[in-house]
A and B are shown apart, each in its own frame.
Chain A
Amino acid sequence: MTLSTQAQGTAPGETAVSHGSWRTYLVGLLFALILTGASFWAADTDLVYPAGVPILLGVLAIAQMGIHIVFFLHISSAPDQTNNILALAFGIFVVGLVVFGSLIIMGNLNHTDMPMHEMMQMQR
């Protein structure tokens, strides 16, 4: 189907060109393989400064998720994909809130609360 025939946007995963889009999947697979290989390499390597490895792993993972979203789920910034991209943005927002919110709050509690064994010693 052509994009102009869409009345109210397209579904995620729907490609504008139905034929020959196996190339999209192939490109996505190649990118994903390279990024996966890079992740497993980065986890074991001595070439990268050790404190920087988690950041590198994070960047590689986010890049690979992006590759999957673009090449496998076919989410794009086309005007008829506005609904899908807005839902995705909201999803990422909630995920970020849950993950980083939990980490910050629990880290803060670990920092301010006294460990149990110290508390017991003070009560003696």
Chain B
Amino acid sequence: MTNISSSVDEPLDVPLSLRGPASTHAVVGFGFWLFLLSDIVIFAALFATYAVLSGATAGGPTGAELFDRHHVFAETLCLLLSSFTCGLGSIAAQRGDRQATYGWFGVTALLGLCFLYLEFAEFSTLLAQGAGPTRSAFLSAFFTLVGTHGLHVAAGLIWLVVMLAQIATLGLRPMVQNRLFCFALFWHALDIVWVGVFTIVYLGATP
């Protein structure tokens, strides 16, 4: 990363207004950070919807009857470990070590796939029990919130595959580095949202 933005070597006593534009890397990162925060605001609206509707089961099954905590714990571990390997992948990419980058991001993709598989398994079990999104307001809110997170993970996986292809074809040039860096931010943010999901949706469901 040293090659991206250390060209400006100003002493710190130069006023902020005279220091010129920020490096591309800082601007890209800040812009993506703003996008992530607005994405989290979307999730906040879905969390609020779920919290309001979580008791509206319309005589149908409640969360405590439906959710399997061991299953959710496995999902949580997949996502947490994938966040960790994503971090190690970013370090490898910064070092310019292609093999390690492929390796760590490959593991990240596999763990993300595991997470999605577990989520699909859970959803299909619920649907088989007749507890689909049309059963009650509670289940509508549940499928919207958890499904939106799952869609984000799926989009992240597609992005990751595209990034691996770009590393293969373009190499770890600064442009690709910036994109990888944004992907890592996205992936870590999804893990933060998942902390809210498993706490409020799954652990919050008390009999």
How many A residues are at the interface, by size bracket?
35 or more
* B41–A33 CB distance below 8 A: no
Question: Given contacts A1-B5, A68-B195, A98-B48, are A84 and B30 in contact (CB under 8 A)?
Answer: yes
How many B residues are at the interface, by size bracket?
35 or more
A72 touches which one: B21, B33, B191 (CB < 8 A)? B191
* A68–B26 CB distance below 8 A: no
Asked if B8 lies at the interface with its beta carbon under 8 angstroms from chain A, I say yes
Report whether over half of chain B's contact residues are helix, strand or loop; otherwise say mixed: helix
A residues in contact (CB < 8 Å) with B: 1-2, 4-14, 18-19, 21-22, 24-26, 28-29, 32-33, 36, 39-40, 42-44, 53-54, 57-58, 60-61, 64-65, 68-69, 72-73, 83-84, 87-88, 90-91, 94-95, 98-99, 101-103, 106
In the complex, A122→B202 CA distance in Å? 39
Top 8 A-B pairs, shortest CB-CB distance: A11-B29, A8-B22, A91-B37, A102-B48, A25-B87, A61-B199, A43-B203, A95-B44
Asked if B163 lies at the interface with its beta carbon under 8 angstroms from chain A, I say no
Counted as pairs of residues, one from A and one from B, with CB atoms less than 8 Å apart, the total is 162
B residues in contact (CB < 8 Å) with A: 1-2, 4-6, 8-10, 12, 16, 19-23, 25-30, 33-34, 37-38, 40-41, 44-45, 47-49, 51-52, 69, 73, 76-77, 80-81, 83-84, 87-88, 90-91, 94-95, 181, 184-185, 188-189, 191-192, 195-196, 198-200, 203-204, 206
